[in-house]
Structure 1
Amino acid sequence: MIVSVVPSQAQEEHAAMSAAMSGATPGQFAPEPVDIPVIELVHPMPGFPSERRYTLVKLDDDGTLCALRSLEREDLEFVVVPPLTFYPAYAPEIGDDVVADLGVEQAADVLVLLIVHAGADLASTTVNLRAPLLVNLATRRAAQVLLDDPDLPVAAPLVA
C-alpha cells in the first residue's frame, strides 16, 4: 500500500502541527520535558546517528516556521515548515516500508514537514522536497524519507 498525503489534508496537517507544538521559546532547552510531545525518529537524520528524540517548537505566532529540536543535544535543531504555505500541491507518496516503520494506519495521521536550508536572505532560502520529514501524529514516530521521484529538488526555493 502506497500512501499519498494529498493537498486537502494539508490544512489539517498545519492545524495538527500547531496543536502539537510546545510552548518553549527559541533558545530554550529542556533535556527531558514532561509536557512536550516527544517525536522519536525511527531512523536518525543523516549525519546525526545518535540523535533520535526531538520535539517541535513554534518559531512564529502561527506555527508556519518551526524547529525540530533535539532533546539529546541542546545545539541541534532543524528548521521545518509544512508544505501547505509554500507548495500547496505537494503530495508525496510513501512506500510500504515507511508506512510500516511509522505505523501509519491512515494518511490523515501523517504530518509532512519540509526541512529548510537558510540562505543569506529569504530569496536564497530553500526547502528539501525530495526528502521530507514524515511524522505519524498518532504514534509520534518519524523519519526523513528519500522519495523516489527524481523530479523533486533537494533545494527548492522557499518563496518564488
Structure 2
Amino acid sequence: MNIETKYHDTIQIEANQIYTFQRGIPGFPEEHQFTILQLTDDGMYQVLQSINTPMLAFVITNPFAFLANYEFTLDEPTVEQLHLENEEEAQIFVIVTVTDPFDQSTANFQAPIICNVRTKEGKQVVLNEGNYAMKQPLITKTAAEKG
C-alpha cells in the first residue's frame, strides 16, 4: 500500500509494517494505525508515521541510547493489552521534540511508546514511577562545554 508521509513523501509499505494503537495516542485518540520509518541513516532516529494523516508524524528514538539506566515496569493491563509474552517482544521509543539548534532537543522519557514487534500493537504509556521528565535533554553538556 502507498501512504503519504510527512518526511518521506509517498512511500510503499507492507501490511506487516503497520502498528495498531487501539486507543490512539494521547491527543490523537482517532489515530490508530502507524508505521515506523527510518529518519536518519545511522538509525538513531525514526518516525512514527500515521497511516491516515500524512502530516501526523513523531520523531522517535531509542531511549537507552541516551539513558543507559532507563527502566520501568509495565502494569499488567498494559502487558495484556499489548499481548506481550516476554520482554524481547517490546520495542521501546521516546518521542523527540526537535529544536534548532538540535543540541537543545528534548525527549519525553515520562511517556514512552511501547510496540509489540510480534503482534504489531502499540501504546504510549505514561509512567508514574521514576524521575523521568517530559522534556529530558537528549544531549547533556559537560562542565567544560558549559563554560
Does the pair score TM above 0.5?
yes
Matched, 1:68 2:48: yes
- The 3 A distance-change label for structure 1 pair 150 and 85 is closer
Mapped partners of 1:35, 1:42: distance in 2: 16
Structure 1 position 33, deviation (Å)? 3.3
Structure 1 position 136, deviation (Å)? 0.6
Letter in 2 for 1:116: V
Matched residue pairs, number? 136
Question: Which segment is superposed worse, 74-83 or 35-44?
Answer: 35-44
5+ long unaligned stretches in structure 1? 1-23
Deviation track 1:8-60 (CA, whole Å, cap 9, x = no partner) reads xxxxxxxxxxxxxxxx9932235x83366101112211221211101010011
Larger radius of gyration: 2
| Counterpart selection for 2:127 from 147, 151, 154 | 147
Structure 1 position 124, deviation (Å)? 1.8
Sequence identity (%): 25
Aligned to 1:106: 86
Where in structure 1 do 4 or more consecutive aligned residues deviate above 3 Å?
Answer: none
Does the CA-based 8 Å contact 1:118-1:125 persist in structure 2?
A: yes
RMSD of equivalent CA atoms? 1.9
Aligned to 1:137: 117
Letter in 1 for 2:7: P
Does the CA-based 8 Å contact 1:25-1:59 persist in structure 2?
A: no
Higher RCO, 1 or 2 (CA under 8 Å, sep at least 6)? 1
| TM-score computed with the length of structure 1 as normaliser | 0.78
Question: 2:95 is paired with a residue of what secondary structure?
Answer: strand
Question: 2:40 is paired with a residue of what secondary structure?
Answer: coil
Aligned to 2:143: none
| TM-score computed with the length of structure 2 as normaliser | 0.85
Does the CA-based 8 Å contact 1:102-1:142 persist in structure 2?
A: yes
